[in-house]
Amino acid sequence: MPVDERYVRVSSRGEALKEDPALNKGTCFTREEREQFGLLGLLPPGVSTREEQAARAYGNYREAGDDVHRYLFLASLQDRNETLFYQLLLDHLEEMAPIVYTPTVGLVCEQFSHIYRRPRGVYISSEDRGRVAELLANAPQKDCRVIVATDNEAILGLGDLGVGGMAISIGKLALYTAGAGIHPSLCLPLDIDVGTDNEALLRDPLYLGVRRKRLRGEEYFSLLDEIVEALSRVFPKALIQWEDFANRNAFEILSRYRKKTLSFDDDIQGTGAVVVSGIRAGLMQVGRSIENERVVFYGAGASGAGCAMATRRAMRDAGVPEEKLGAHVLALDSRGLILSGRAGLSAEKREIAADPALVSGWTLGPGGRIGLTEVVREFKPTVLVGASGQPGAFDEAIVRSMLRSCPRPIILPLSNPTSKAEATPRDLIEWTKGAAVVGTGSPFPPVEHGGVTYEIGQGNNALIFPGVGLGAVSVEAKWLPDEAFLAASRALLAFTAPSGRPGSPIYPPLRRLREVSFAVAVEVARTLVEMGAAPEPKGPIETRIRSMMWDPVYLPYRPA
């Protein structure tokens, strides 16, 4: 029916309506609505247009102070008027995404217990064993479709931040709504507080989490088993996004639950899809193809190892034989180059380990170490990806060594927040005289060099995970195979084809997030149906997906 005939039935009145963030319109309540719903005298007499209200909110945002205070302003706005919050976020997405998510959210996580204002989401602690379903049933969301869950141990590149990690789940879900249009009432942030090994937090008298060392081993996984089982009962249609789990648990959680409930790990699979798309986009800029590349991942935690696996799958799809993948994709961890046969390798590191024969004849470092310097000198990579959280790891000597064997290197310092990036784009472009194709994990400004403006594409997981979630829930998928993330990567790549202009970015700007998320959702949904991971939908997939995408606009209210 025509838009002007749409309306919402509302039973709340007066102060209760004004205090409901899902229904509150603030100064945009019409005079008729104020009369009908007992709001007369509770608001200033002037009625604002949507544009006037948004301009006022944006002005207040700009005057809020530093980035943390701007975050707090937006959080307060979200708590009192969700429609205005999401309108403002969409109108200024490139400016505000770094505030509601990385890098500012990292500062918020660190200060969480000191700047805490109002609760959002559900907290399940190690003290709630046996009552998880009861706690979940207390959530205001009754038809939840997307859950972002974290145990707080590997927050961005900052480590164990205890219960402060909840800000990560909240920020990710804000991007689900802004990017994919999933209604906020269908989204649930979930903090799994199993303790913290951060001594500073345990000593902090204001710390809001459980004051104990982290659960490990069977105790830890038995609690997660209860949580997953309870989520399946309380929210049977929900997708779970595992977020910022430490490497020691991330891969185990992914394999343990991915076929028991609809779930994925964003650090492993979402980042992998973003990186593969960025590598392919960079290769199109320099006129090379992925099957001939030599790729090095510096950092083999959940994100680094997941990206290495995704790159190997992409090379396999491009025709590289399985037995030769180890000669195309190398990974380093804190002990240096990962080689098969090293004692104590985890399952995921065994999968990405190189054959020791590869290093036969290499000149090794002190003590026989094979670090980044040796790998770049001997392996001669064409693509270098940082997922280490080690700022400055890609120094001038490393970059110039790479440049000697590859005139157009692709370098992706992806660690975030910004302070953890392995190199700055400005340095990379200056050291290579503009020859390097650069993408980052955190936002960086354009770089001027040699009369060319280099736009720095941000490999933000928001380009992937909202569309993946939307596509999966739109077709009621049962699980998410790896092929769904290859499909997401292909969809993203369609937005990053090179323009032929020097300095063009390898990722689209976040202002295109809605159209990117729709395209990703369509490709993911089609792939899931084709693979039998979701039932055959009734009607066109595109129509189903569009029908789920909420726009933050005020509709007329009528009494229930």
Q: Are 247 and 301 in contact (CB under 8 A)?
A: yes
Residue type at 158 in one-letter notation: L
DSSP state of 213: P
Rg (CA), the chain: 24
* β-strand pairing of 452-454 with 447-449: antiparallel
CA-nearest of 426, 418, 419 to 446 is 426
* β-strand pairing of 239-242 with 263-265: parallel
**Phi-psi sector, 123: left (phi>0), alpha (psi -120 to 50), beta:** beta
DSSP 264-297: EEIIIIIHHHHHHHHHHHHHHHHT--GGG--EEE
548 vs 23, 45, 67, 103, 172, CA distance in Å? 19, 35, 32, 29, 18
| Helix or strand (DSSP H, E) at 31 | helix 31-36
| Helix or strand (DSSP H, E) at 514 | helix 513-530
Token pair of 284 as six digits: 């199109």
Q: Are 157 and 415 in contact (CB under 8 A)?
A: yes
Task: Give me the active site residues, please.
Answer: 101, 172
Token pair of 324 as six digits: 């030769």
Residue that is written with structure tokens 């109108």 in the block: 91
| Helix residue ranges per DSSP H, 287-437 | 302-317, 347-352, 372-379, 396-405, 425-431
Overall residue count recorded for the chain in this entry? 560
d(CA 445, CA 426): 9
